[in-house]
Amino acid sequence: MQLPARFARYELQEFLGGGMSHVYRALDTVIGRQVAVKILTEDGCRDTEAKERFLHEARMSGSISHDNIVTIHDYGEEQGRPYIAMEFLRGGDLRDALRKNQAGDLRNRLRIATESAAALEYVHNMGIIHRDVKPENIFIEQSGRAKLMDFGISKAAGFNMTKAGNTMGTPYYMAPEQVQGADLTPLVDVYSFGIVLYELFTGERLVTGDSMERLFYVILHENPDPAKLVAAGLPQALIDLILRCTAKKPEDRLQSFSAIKQVLIGIASSEVPAGAPAAPKAASKPAEGSGLKMGPIVGVAAVAVLVGGGAIWYLMQGQTKPAEEKKASTELPALLTAKGGDMVLVAAGEFLFGSARSPVKTPAFYIDKTEVPVKAYQEFAATSGRTLPPGNAADKPMLPVVNVSFDDASDFCKWAGKRMPGEFEWEKAARGGDGRAFPWGSKEDPENANVEESAKKFGEAPTVVDSLEHAKSPFGALHMTGNVWEWVERPHTPSVNAVESFAKALKPAPTPSEPWHYIKGGAFDRPLSSGVAFEFSSIPARMTSPTIGFRCAQDAPAKLP
């Protein structure tokens, strides 16, 4: 766009940056005020989810008025493109201040923390959960005042824009319950704020990892090291506050920002002398790919981070260089004859994960071409002293075996010299590298899958695993949509709702502490969903059902011997 340019009542004067939306310094020609105007791009307008999120931010932010929250003056639509006009701020975000070691002394950092807590107290009192509290979303004006911004993925009571399987937020600041896909409460903001406090007062990022797998493991299982807080010379009350806010269990955290704000005020007034030094070390840079080669991917979900309408993708890096990966993949057979069933090669490289189509990189691996059939499971059962699970007919050997628990499926895979597929692996095998909605492409066609809409064709039951060859995935796998759900190795702690939903179906009733995994791909009794390639259901590992089967995976060697 050639500047200056007229857009609605605003004269756009300077491009400030952006992704799915562009931000300009502009003049409100009606009242002569300098503003910042954020305009959704044409590509963003074509993306239904991005447009919905942009409009949600406008509506949500427009209802907020607080000294420590960026002010929204106006929003609307011009030339078919929605826009938001907000106050024009001079300064920079907290991330920039930490990177340049310009956040000031300990007292000044306490003021930044207190003002940020006051902003979050206000939005929580309005029934709004921010869900993306991080240094980039705390702006520090030239005057030093802190302002909370970016409500693009915030959630009001009764409003939920996030689809199943799509966890929103920024990985380094996500609460454990966000990683687990559980129902969210205002306490996710308390946790994220605690992570920000740790970084603000130590200069180091608390949650780091060389891969998404490692990142989420740290969030779920590793606690902050109090020794680092002590070494930073922080008052004990501040150390205690940070540890309370970052507790893994929501009930162990401070329960409101009112309480957090009062603790911060008390620390500043009674324990911090003027001019007390801050931690000397500048904030660490975002973790980048460091050459960690991924094996089986367990317990991970890729995340798309929406900032100001633009997407920041977190990419997992493998050890092998691109040229070497391509060469290694071409040396391997596309179809591998293996015990328990033939396998297809899934080449190394990126694929687009989840509804946000986040780039994720995996090494090459093999996955079963079909769901494990009754015939193969019978052979396993005969050699391991087991019996064919109920609901499976020995005289129908090519139907998918069903009524198998996660452990049953895992035992079969081990017997066959294989393993269970991880979440990333299963999805990549299903939708290829181009982020297509279905294994066969992006056109919604129930005739390509055994789903509810095609019940007359398949008889409202599973069909043989080697059928629908024309609808195979880009790597050659069959029935990765419909037929039967498939177990995926993705251990996690379930949401309260998930536990409650299985209370009557399982005896004894399941608990959050027992093993839970995902099932993916839908089944013959489910309608075809546009998110079938990435959606999931969380279920107890001991669950069995006539609609649940599985397939196996296997690491690919660097090259054939």
Q: Count of domains in the chain?
A: 3
408 is annotated as an active-site residue: no
> Which tokens hold the place of 434?
């181009």
Share of the chain above pLDDT 70, in %: 84
The stretch 144-168 carries a mean pLDDT of 54
Is residue 76 very low, low, confident or very high in pLDDT (cuts 50, 70, 90)?
confident
298 in any annotated domain:
no
pLDDT, residue 413, reads: 96
Q: Which of 43-52, 128-137, 407-416 has the lowest mean pLDDT?
A: 43-52
Q: Is residue 300 part of a domain?
A: no
164/50 same-domain check: no
Same domain, 241 and 324: no
Residue 38: count of CB within 10 angstroms of its CB: 23
Whether residue 301 lies inside any domain: the answer is no
Residue 357, phi-psi category: left (phi > 0), alpha (psi -120 to 50), beta (remainder): left
Q: Give the CATH number of the domain where residue 113 resides.
A: 1.10.510.10
Comparison of pLDDT for 271 and 103, the residue scoring more = 103
Whether 100 and 83 share a structural domain: no
Domain assignment present for residue 203? The answer is yes
The angle that helices 406-415 and 374-384 make with each other, rounded to 10 degrees, is: 80
CATH number of domain containing 79: 3.30.200.20
How far, in Å, CA of 523 to CA of 536, rounded? 12
pLDDT band at 340 (very low <50, low <70, confident <90, very high): very high
Given the residues 132, 150, 189, 368, select the one marked as catalytic: 132
| Same-domain check for residues 53 and 107 | no
Range of the domain at 68: 5-87
Report d(CA 44, CA 233) in Å as an integer: 46
Q: Does 317 score more than 60 pLDDT?
A: no
**Contact present, 187 and 500 (Cβ < 8 Å):** no
User: Does the pLDDT at position 301 exceed 80?
Assistant: no
215-224, 299-308, 495-504, range with the lowest pLDDT: 299-308
> 421 and 501: one domain?
yes
Mean pLDDT of 57-66: 71
Instruction: Give the model confidence (pLDDT) of 247-283 as tens digits.
Output: 999 999 998 999 899 899 888 876 444 444 454 333 3
State mean pLDDT over 294-309.
25
pLDDT value of position 61: 67
Q: What does the pLDDT average to over 11-17?
A: 88
**Domain endpoint, select from 270, 304, 328:** 270
Residue found by looking up tokens 């789903």 in the block: 451
* pLDDT for residue 63: 65
Instruction: Give the residue-averaged pLDDT of 362-370.
Output: 94
Task: Locate 97 and state its tokens.
Answer: 């201040």
Q: Indicate whether 303 belongs to any domain.
A: no
Q: If residue 81 lies in a helix (H) or strand (E), which one and from where to where?
A: strand 81-87
Q: Which residue has the higher pLDDT, 357 or 548?
A: 548
307 pLDDT exceeds 60? no
Q: Which of 40, 72, 87 is the last residue of a domain?
A: 87
Over residues 79-97, mean pLDDT = 88
pTM of the model: 0.48
